[in-house]
Amino acid sequence: MTDNPFAAGAAYVDGRYMPVGQASIPLTDWGYRRSDAIYDVVSVWDGQFFRLDDHIARFRASMRKLHFAPSESDEEIKAIVNRCVALSGLRNAYVAMDCLRGRPAPDKPYHPAYARNYVAAFAIPFVWVMNPEVQARGGHLIIAETLRIPRSSVDPTAKNFHWADLTRGQFEALERGADFALLLDSDGNLTEGAGFNVFVATDGLLATPDSGVLEGVTRQSVLDICEELGIPCQVRKISAAETREADEIFLTTTAGGVMPASRIDGRIMNNDRPGPLSTRIKERFWAKRAEGWHATPVDYTAA
């Protein structure tokens, strides 16, 4: 038991800090009513942020792409997420930062350009998109019938709240007895899934989609590891057929790292266990994290 009111998580909303259970936004704001918001998520493991500057830079880039301009600077946002973690005291945390659209003042045109923008953030105990038990046996994947929202309509490189297609894909996965769904674009090429990028391996060659996807920070970390280990990896188009016939598949995300799969559309890979290349990259990812790779220590005195 603890007497810290922030032990379950700490939040920041529009200039104020509070326990995460008390955080709220107005029902009338377009951030809620229209999903008119962008976000980013950075992890803390063993008291250290991973690639914090990269996440802040992507958050700012997402804001620019979707016309958000909050009052907080990048350094102020960095201090906000640090304080959320410090208030909670968490050593392993899932840390989100959002920028939301309010609504225009009564004397302004009813247009998003005139709506106030504001920042929210929170730190809660670390979240596993694919829990360690599922990772150990390998995730079971499907290719969904639902298509990814086209990038000509919603730019996937701006991390956004438009998840209707991803959510629908997840229900498809549930109905088909799988853990996660992979979505294709309208040309039948692989994109991503609900909060993760995808890598496929065939004959020792890795590939990850080149478009229609968020440019994930963990995805980039895998590309860096492949270069370090001399593992060939291409960023290119990947067909549904190549995905279904791959030797190995793994997913990457801030909330879970490198997450191997063992089945795709019911086909068993690697004796129904994570493959050797996926396992090697996953182990190297966490080993480098433990060594302090791209680490920024949390300043717990900021509470």
In this structure, what token pair is assigned to residue 236? 């290119």
* Interatomic CA distance for residues 280 and 46, integer angstroms: 22
Please tell me the predicted confidence (pLDDT) of residue 7: 96
User: Which candidate, 285, 252, 250, places its Cα nearest to that of 269?
Assistant: 250
What would the pLDDT profile of 20-57 be if each residue is shown by its tens digit?
999 999 999 999 999 999 999 999 999 999 999 999 99
Give the chain's mean pLDDT: 97
What local confidence, expressed as pLDDT, does residue 2 receive? Answer: 72
CA dihedral sign of residues 47, 53, 54, 59: positive
Predicted local confidence at residue 1, as pLDDT: 55
For the segment 222-267, what is each residue's pLDDT rounded down to a tens digit? 999 999 999 999 999 999 999 999 999 999 999 999 999 999 999 9
* Cα–Cα distance measured from residue 135 to residue 272, given in angstroms and rounded to the nearest whole number: 12
Query: Domains of the chain by range and CATH?
Result: 10-125 (3.30.470.10), 132-290 (3.20.10.10)
pLDDT above 60 (res 178): yes
Cα dihedral 78→81→84→90 (10° resolution): -110
DSSP state of 135: H
**Interval 192-225: pLDDT, tens:** 999 999 999 999 999 999 999 999 999 999 999 9
Tell me the C-alpha distance between 173 and 146, whole Å: 11
φ, ψ of residue 155 in degrees (nearest 5): -70, 110
The model carries a pTM of: 0.96
For 71-102, write each residue's pLDDT tens digit. 999 999 999 999 999 999 999 999 999 999 99
